[in-house]
Amino acid sequence: MNAPGRDDMTAVLANFQAIGATFVSPLGEIAQKLGNCRAVVFDWDGVFNDGRKGQTSDSGFSEADSMGTNMLRYALWRKLGQLPYSAIISGENNGSAVKFAKREHLTDVYTGIADKRLIINRICQSQGLEPDQIACVFDDINDLPMAGLCGIRLMVRRNASPLFAKYVARRFLCDYVSGVDSQHYAVREICEMLLGVMGCYGEVVTSRVSLDKEYRDYLDARQSVVTGAYNSSELGNQD
């Protein structure tokens, strides 16, 4: 799988800047980091949804974002020759996050986590990874310690937090800020951007559409994953 050339990089940049995205790190630097990527972790609230909850309901997810995560994992599987590690790390106890992770056969889902850095360390130890091999998708202040450990930091925009966005960008605490917010499928945007940077968007989508052998092999591997679901009470004190 070839890296995108200069013209492709220019097109990727233009496509996402056109919808308001900010490349805090140069696109070439993101591509270099992505070449080292072996894992993807996602925050939940404010990333897959706007974080709203009611007394009897959890915050949910969209099928558009689900497809994005699947295509990104497929692209990484093609590059690595094995499934990438994937996880949701949420500060809240959210049944929808667990349902999504199990439905999509992510490697793990962690809920009720106060200090998400501890989970990054746990993942690295259990999976034989280095922190700079992890891409992290996040949205808010409490995620910065976790994102700061990871190699690729991808932030979901929230127009109500312009000072936070400036704080993060000026201190180079993320590599990319999405053009859309979580209500408009920011996870899908981020996944498509990464596929574009990898230079494999067309190949991955064509393979998925045709359900060719390579995609079926990936799907068999994905469906065989039994998702680990962990709550802070099962992991000991996370405060």
Reported as a single tens digit per residue, the pLDDT across 82-94 is: 999 999 999 988 8
- 41 near 89, Cβ under 8 Å? yes
Mean pLDDT calculated for residue range 2-26: 83
Question: Where in the chain are the domains?
Answer: 6-232
Sheet strand arrangement including 228-231: 22-23, 176-181, 152-157, 134-138, 39-42, 85-89, 108-111, 228-231
pLDDT digits (tens, 9 = 90+) for 24-80: 999 999 999 999 999 999 999 999 998 765 544 567 789 999 999 999 999 999 999
CB proximity list for 49: less than 8 A, separation 6 or greater: 59, 60, 61, 62, 182, 183
d(CA 10, CA 5) in angstroms, rounded, equals 9
Is 160 exposed, middle or buried, given 0-12, 13-18 or 19+ CB atoms closer than 10 A? exposed
How would CATH label the architecture of 6-232? 3-Layer(aba) Sandwich (3.40)
Token reading at 3: 């890296």
**What's the whole-number average pLDDT of the chain?**
92
pLDDT above 70 (res 238):
no
Tokens of 17: 């800047």
End-to-end CA distance of the chain: 43
CB 44, CB 142: distance < 8 Å: no
pLDDT, residue 235, reads 77
**Percent of the chain at pLDDT exceeding 70:** 92
* pLDDT tens for each residue of 112-136: 999 999 999 999 999 999 999 999 9
